[in-house]
Amino acid sequence: MTRIPNNVLAFAKDKIDVYKDFKDYYNHYRTENKLLSAGKTVSFDNTIDFEEKEGLMHKALLTEIQRVSCINPALFTEISPEIIATNPSFKWAVFAVINAMVDMILPDSLIDSIGLFTDIRFGEFGDNFAFEVEPRDLFISTIAGHGKKRSDIQKQFNGQVTIKPIEHDITVAVNLYRVLCGKESLAKFVMKAAKAMETEITYDAYDAFNTAMNALDNTGDDALRISGYTQATAIALAQKIEGWNGQNAMFVGTKLALANILPTNTNYRYDLESAYVKNGYIKDFNGFSTMELKQKADYTTEFAMKLTDESIYIISPSSQKLVKLAIEGSTLSITDDVYTNANLQQATTLKKMYNTGIATNALAGLIEL
């Protein structure tokens, strides 16, 4: 079943199918380009190849833009594309539809990328994002006598962390004349805009996660951060995380990092059909699961990667998530006037209000390789 955000439902009204089709197109793109997390699959119509689907999506988007612009459909056959492109209503409708398409696919895309360690909360404009942090401790049981009415009174208080969204902008340009003529794919443009937004949010979540993990104590018996991998220390730390969280612990890291999780005994064997050869790491190790974090390109530095291959994290995904992501309102856009640019391109700034923070009562561990 396709989940549809409320703001998209309100915007699309009875034309929701085109937004479902765009989600199908985006899922097809992510599958073909291997952008999904390890073991993750998404549904899409595989009876149509991707290139044909992109052309059909382009036409469907233009039809939806015509509807939203409230321009008489007959005018699109009577007036040349370059004239239609100068209509303020049409220009507004282009990016209004783009905003709705971005909001349609962003939730599922973010859950796939960072949902393992991030609690994602969506709200309306002006909403407060307050996250409750409950105490991790239990109540203490004391020995008492028959004639004693009660022991020491115990009460716990929740903490609260407030996260205020911050505006993040992406400025892009599209040549409406070329779009109307079919020379530029509107579907590909929207897909890239959505992917850019999802990537920036993912980066912020990873940065918040790494900052918290690198701040863990690494001294004494209370250490949650250890240097160097051994089977004994890894299991001991995983037991500590699992015991204090009261939830199953899991080893998490990139494929290269997880490849270090191997039994101490060097007499093990594996064949070419084994899960280790197929996945590049052991999926279950001494009773603990492992989960791969899909490596991401760091577009701020040429050919750099965003995630470190030198760390293995131990978390309990079913306990309170470490990172909190607050997303305020829907995507907004501000577009240039019709004749602002000499080449008649329409420059638009997509605006998304969000922020990340750490708010949790769960423990996590870090193994520095």
pLDDT tens per residue across span 203-212: 999 999 999 9
Residue 224 lies in a domain: yes
Tens of pLDDT, residues 38-74: 778 889 999 999 999 999 999 999 899 999 999 888 8
Q: Are residues 194 and 109 in contact, defined by beta-carbon separation less than 8 angstroms?
A: yes
Q: How many domains, the chain?
A: 1
Domain that holds residue 237: 211-321+362-368
pLDDT at site 2: 66
**HSE, side-chain direction, 13 A CA sphere, residue 139:** 9
Res 299: pLDDT: 87
To the nearest 10 degrees (0 to 180), the angle between helices 186-214 and 17-32 is 60
CA 270 – CA 286 distance, rounded (Å): 17
| Beta strand pairing call for 311-315 and 250-253 | antiparallel
**Residue 251 domain-assigned (yes or no):** yes
Q: Has residue 286 been placed in a domain?
A: yes
Give domain status of residue 308, yes or no: yes
Beta bridge partners of 173: 347
Structural domain contains residue 170: no
Task: Say what the pLDDT of residue 7 is.
Answer: 87
H-helix segments, the chain: 6-12, 17-32, 50-69, 75-78, 81-84, 88-114, 176-180, 186-214, 231-245, 255-258, 275-279
Asked whether residue 215 is assigned to any structural domain, the reply reads: yes
Q: How far apart are CA 7 and CA 13, in angstroms?
A: 10
DSSP type of residue 44: -
CA 147 centroid distance within chain: 58
Assigned domain for 354 exists: no
- First vs last Cα of the chain: how many Å apart? 41
Burial of 228 (0-12, 13-18, 19+ CB in 10 A): exposed
Element (H, E) at 34: none
Three-state SS letters, 281-336: CCCEECCEEEEECCCCEECCCCCEECCCCCEEEEECCCCCCCEEEEEEEEEEEEEC
User: In this structure, is residue 218 part of a structural domain?
Assistant: yes
Ranges of the chain whose pLDDT falls below 70: 1-2, 266, 338-339, 343-344
**Contact (Cβ atoms closer than 8 angstroms) between residue 251 and residue 314:** yes
For residues 237 and 196, give the distance between their C-alpha atoms in angstroms, rounded to a whole number.
36
